[in-house]
Amino acid sequence: MKKPNTIENNPLKSIEDWEKDLLKRYPDPADHNKSKEAYRNYEDGDRHDTVKEFYRLNHQYQSYDFVLEKEKEFLSFNKKEMGFWEAVDFLNTLVDDSDPDTDLDQLQHLLQTSEAIRADGHPDWFVLTGFIHDFGKVLCLFGEPQWAVVGDTFPVGCQFSDKIVFPEFFDLNPDSQNPELNTKYGIYSPNCGLDQVKMSWGHDEYLFQMVKDYLPEEALYMIRYHSFYAQHKENAYDHLLNDHDKAMFEWVKKFNPYDLYSKVPTPPDAKALRPYYEDLVAKYLPSVLKF
């Protein structure tokens, strides 16, 4: 089912609106003013409606079959080959001038995340993870609708948890009517491990599949599950995780505040930081990435 790339299909003024909404759901426990600050210039009611519509589309169309279809479409990585920095420039074309609150481009969000991780003295692969974690958003530039790129992710193939934001919209998902897919375990078995579980399609899974041979497992968990809020914030799918997943989710939880709360008033100096990141990228990733 290919949905046309229309405003109706892309209700958010900017894909960052999803992250801003996350800040409202999960405000920074350390600094409430900072979270409020992220909302300045914002018509709260306006955004609430577009975010709600975004989730309606996401929950309606992210079915098990949809995920299979997207895997077939994107996981052969035959769309485009780009050098790393070329890919950064490409990702940075994803800016929306119509949004008065989009004060950071994609590179700046990535650098703020990675620099906050670096400042806390974490290992270099953790810094690199912060730097690349949203690279999968290039899917938007391949014409994918917002609801198939960003948004909270969740397992498909089993019952949708009511801990997922706007759970009522799952009534519109065909899988909710499918007796094989709408039970607690669906096609899975108790504590089968997340590697057996298909997640809703988006920038997380796409990037994970792209870099899975190059980074430590902790980094791969952070990349693959950073939008799985129903688990890393709500523990709604403990019955599918195995013990190894549970241990690895400590890293996902460690990563999350850097993603959500690392906005600083002064944007990072991308030019000055580039040599450090050039070395870091060269240490772990191939010179050409396949998208």
Cβ closer to Fe ion: 175 or 259?
259
Site for Fe ion in 238-267 (CB under 5 A): 259
What mask, x for binding Fe ion by CB under 5 A, covers residues 107 to 146? Answer: ---------------------------x------------
Q: Helix (H, G, I), strand (E, B), or coil: what is residue 289?
A: strand
Task: Tell whether the torsion through CA atoms of 117, 291, 87 and 23 is positive or negative.
Answer: negative
Q: How far is CA 235 from CA 53, 82, 176, in A?
A: 25, 37, 21
Our finding on whether 17 is near Fe ion (CB under 5 A) is no
Query: What gap in Å lies between CA 69 and CA 161, rounded to an integer?
Result: 23
Site for Fe ion in 48-87 (CB under 5 A): none
Cβ closer to Fe ion: 175 or 256?
256
Cβ closer to Fe ion: 173 or 227?
227
Question: Least distance in Å: CB of 5 to Fe ion?
Answer: 20
Query: What gap in Å lies between CA 139 and CA 273, rounded to an integer?
Result: 26
Number of residues that bind Fe ion (CB under 5 A): 2
Question: Least distance in Å: CB of 132 to Fe ion?
Answer: 10
Question: Least distance in Å: CB of 226 to Fe ion?
Answer: 5
CB 176 within 8 A of CB 160: yes
Neighbours of 200 (CB within 10 A): 27
Question: Least distance in Å: CB of 227 to Fe ion?
Answer: 6
Maximal CA-CA distance, the chain: 56
Binding footprint of Fe ion on the chain (CB under 5 A): 134, 259
